[in-house]
């Protein structure tokens, strides 16, 4: 959490922080997800949600199949032009604050589909917070993305970000190791 | 077995069978467009050949061919004799072959797909609508004169200039097979160059792994430097703030 102040005295402990910090902290640990799963990336999405990688550790395991109840829209897989209106509508129905994760190269940029059918990245239609490259990305990258998103939520940062390639993991943008609770 | 089907069609239709061939063991019979549905019906019904399995119906576009622009191709098989046959005909742009959907119901959707992709209408089809694309789509994308990079978005693309993507995506989305002139982009030192294989029409250039890694690294470094700068700036301002 952001700035914590611990006050001890008389055998009792109180912790103070800013209300906005507390709110963001609560938000980042209870991300209800809306899985918009359209293609092969869905397999990795399932792997991420299953016990071995266990997305529940991050408080993000609960899928909500009503956009009105969900906080994060996972766009998992290829989005065709024909699906554009649907994904846009779902995003519009979600209540603020809401976030979008583009899962896989197809959702991020169209991937190898460069033709009349495919939207070249779902960010052409809705704003995306975190992009996960990979075809499909490994569950580790997905968890990375979730942690990046949590950091961004805590920092109230709406800049889009890409889960960096595993060349220099310790230098991944946003993963400074500070301020993570 | 398949040869028997060809022979049967030859004896039944004689002159009306225009060509036959058996390249690589795939037997093919070519008929005129006016005989298309009749021959298909005969293949289905005839007690000797019984082509009861509709496999596929598709088309091929030859825009430069003057006689007839399209080949219409039907694959069938017999579940009794296991014979396979390909029936082909020539279709001019605007001509309407008779529907086969009353012969094999599987032809219904295949014909809709041919209409969707090639713009060949089928006379007598019960439901001649697009099947894969949307009604708003203009043109038929598998015709060779459909522009290769023409998309017809249903939702207008957002107009944001700071989509500011990080590596490995560039503004052209790092599509490894995208039609982008990578030569000039790389030479111009464009910030949005993404490490990928670029294909400009008729010209290919491949980035080696090390080249690609270098580009990724350069963009990460630039990004990190920018972020460090920004972080320092905020630190300075907050530092001043608490000092007061
Ligand atoms: S990125 Fe790859 S794995 Fe994911 S949906 Fe696209 S093609 Fe499938």
Q: What is the mean pLDDT of residues B58-73?
A: 92
Task: Give pLDDT tens digits for B141-177.
Answer: 999 888 877 888 888 888 765 554 444 554 444 444 4
How far is it, in rounded angstroms, from Cα A132 to Cα A165? 9
More confident of the two residues B220 and A41: A41
Same domain, A100 and A12: no
> Are residues A79 and A150 part of one domain?
yes
Residue A135, domain CATH = 3.40.50.12280
Same domain (yes/no): A83, A142 = yes
CA pseudo-torsion sign A87, A112, B148, B161? positive
Separation of alpha carbons A16 and A27, rounded Å:
18
Q: Which of B152, B217, B224 sits opposite A116 (nearest CB)?
A: B152
Whether the link from the prior residue into A136 is cis, omega within 30° of 0, is: yes
For ligand 1, atom 3, the nearest C-alpha belongs to A136
**Tokens coding A11:** 């055998």
Spatial distance between the Cα atoms of B93 and B33, rounded to a whole number of angstroms: 12
Q: How many domains, in total, are found in chain A?
A: 2
Same domain, A68 and A20: no
Tell me, letter by letter, the H, E, C secondary structure of chain B: CHHHHHHHHHHHHHHHEEEEECHHHCCEEEECHHHHHHHHHHHHHCCCCCCCEEEEEEEEECCCCCCCCEEEEEEEECCCCCCEEEEEEEECCCCCCECCCCCCCCHHHHHHHHHHHHCCCCECCCCCCCCCCCCCCCCCCCCCCCCCCCCCCCCCCCCCCCCCCCCCCCCCCCCCCCECCHHHHHHCCCCCCCCCCEEECCEEECCCHHHHHHHHHHHHHHHHHHHHHHHHHHHHHHHHHHHC
The reply to whether A49 falls in a domain is: yes
* Same domain as A96, residue A19: no
**Do residue A54 and residue A86 come from a single domain?**
yes
- Same domain (yes/no): A83, A96: yes
Q: Mean pLDDT across the stretch A5-28? A: 85
C-alpha separations of B86 from B51, B71, B80 in Å: 11, 12, 17
pTM equals 0.73
Residue A179 lies in a domain: no
B59 min Cα distance to partner chain A (Å): 19
- Ligand 1 midpoint to CA A152 (Å): 25
**Alpha carbon of A141 to those of A43, A137, A165: distances in Å?**
14, 6, 9
At residue B240, the pLDDT reads 52
Kindly tell me if the per-residue pLDDT of B89 is higher than 70.
Answer: yes
Question: Quick check: helix, strand or coil at residue A126?
Answer: coil
pLDDT value for B140 = 92
Share of chain A above pLDDT 90, in %: 34
Banded model confidence at residue B221, pLDDT cuts 50, 70, 90: confident
| Domain boundary assignment for chain B | 1-132
Based on its alpha-carbon atoms, the radius of gyration of chain B, rounded to whole angstroms, reads: 29
Interface test mutation site (partner B, options A78, A161, A164, A166, max chain B beta carbons within 10 A): A164
Q: Which of A75, A64, A92 is nearest to A142 (CA)?
A: A75
Asked if the structure places residue A178 within a domain, the reply is: no
Is beta strand B17-21 parallel, antiparallel or unpaired with respect to B28-31? Answer: antiparallel
- Name the CATH topology of B1-132: Beta Polymerase; domain 2 (3.30.460)
* Residue B213: pLDDT over 80: no
In this prediction, what percent of chain B has a pLDDT beyond 70?
73
**Range(s) of the domain holding residue A140:** 32-164
| Pair (A100, A38) in one structural domain | yes
Q: Are A93 and A104 found together in one domain?
A: yes
Q: Are B178 and B196 within 8 A, CB to CB?
A: yes
Residue A69 lies in a domain: yes
Q: Does the beta-carbon distance from B151 to A161 stay under 8 Å?
A: no
Cβ A85–B149 below 8 Å, yes or no?
Answer: no
CA distance to partner chain A, nearest, from residue B214 (Å): 11
What per-residue confidence (pLDDT) applies to B167?
46
Q: Do both A2 and A45 map to the same domain?
A: no
Question: pLDDT band for position A15 (50/70/90)?
Answer: confident
In a domain, A170, yes or no: no
Count interface pairs A-B at CB distance under 8 A. 93
A84/A20 same-domain check = no
Burial class (CB in 10 A: 0-12, 13-18, 19+), B24: exposed
Quick check: B204 pLDDT over 80? no
Q: Is A136 in the pocket of ligand 1 (CB under 6 A)?
A: yes
Beta carbons of A1 and A181 less than 8 angstroms apart = yes
A8 and A55 housed in the same domain: no
Q: Which one, of A39, A127, A118, lies nearest residue A76 by Cα?
A: A39
Query: Which tens digits make up the pLDDT trace of A140-172?
Result: 889 989 998 998 898 888 878 888 766 555 555
């Amino acid at each position: 959490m952001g700035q914590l102040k611990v006050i001890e005295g008389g055998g009792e402990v109180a912790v103070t922080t800013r209300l906005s910090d507390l709110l963001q902290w609560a938000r980042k640990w209870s991300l209800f997800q809306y899985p918009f799963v359209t293609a092969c990336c869905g397999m990795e999405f399932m792997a991420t949600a299953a016990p071995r990688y266990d997305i529940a550790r991050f408080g993000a395991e609960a899928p909500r199949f009503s956009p009105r109840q969900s906080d994060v829209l996972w766009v998992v897989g290829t989005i065709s032009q024909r699906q554009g209106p649907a994904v846009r509508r779902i995003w519009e129905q979600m209540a603020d604050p809401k976030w979008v994760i583009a899962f896989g190269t197809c959702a991020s940029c169209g991937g190898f589909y460069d033709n009349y059918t495919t939207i070249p990245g779902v960010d052409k239609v809705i704003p995306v917070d975190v992009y996960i490259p990979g075809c499909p990305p490994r569950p580790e990258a997905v968890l990375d993305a979730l942690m990046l998103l949590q950091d961004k939520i805590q920092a109230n940062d709406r800049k889009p970000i890409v889960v960096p390639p595993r060349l220099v993991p310790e230098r991944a943008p946003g993963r400074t190791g500070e301020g993570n609770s | 077995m398949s040869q028997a089907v060809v022979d049967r069609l030859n004896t039944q239709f004689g002159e009306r069978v225009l060509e036959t061939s058996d390249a690589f063991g795939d037997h093919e019979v070519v008929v005129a467009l006016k005989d298309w549905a009749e021959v298909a019906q005969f293949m289905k019904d005839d007690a000797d050949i019984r082509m009861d399995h509709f496999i596929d119906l598709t088309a091929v576009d030859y825009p430069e061919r003057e006689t007839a622009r399209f080949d219409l191709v039907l694959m069938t098989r017999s579940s009794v004799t296991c014979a396979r046959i390909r029936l082909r005909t020539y279709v001019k742009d605007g001509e309407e072959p008779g529907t086969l959907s009353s012969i094999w119901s599987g032809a219904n959707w295949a014909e809709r797909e041919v209409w969707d992709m090639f713009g060949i209408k089928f006379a007598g089809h019960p439901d001649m609508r697009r099947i894969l694309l949307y009604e708003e789509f203009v043109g038929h994308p598998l015709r060779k004169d459909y522009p290769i990079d023409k998309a017809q978005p249903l939702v207008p693309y957002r107009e944001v200039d700071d989509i500011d993507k990080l590596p490995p995506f560039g503004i052209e989305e790092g599509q490894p097979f995208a039609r982008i002139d990578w030569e000039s982009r790389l030479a111009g030192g464009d910030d949005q160059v993404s490490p990928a294989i670029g294909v400009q029409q008729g010209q290919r250039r491949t980035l080696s792994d090390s080249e690609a890694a270098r580009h990724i690294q350069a963009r990460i470094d630039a990004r990190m430097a920018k972020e460090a700068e920004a972080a320092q700036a905020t630190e300075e301002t907050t530092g001043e703030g608490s000092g007061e």
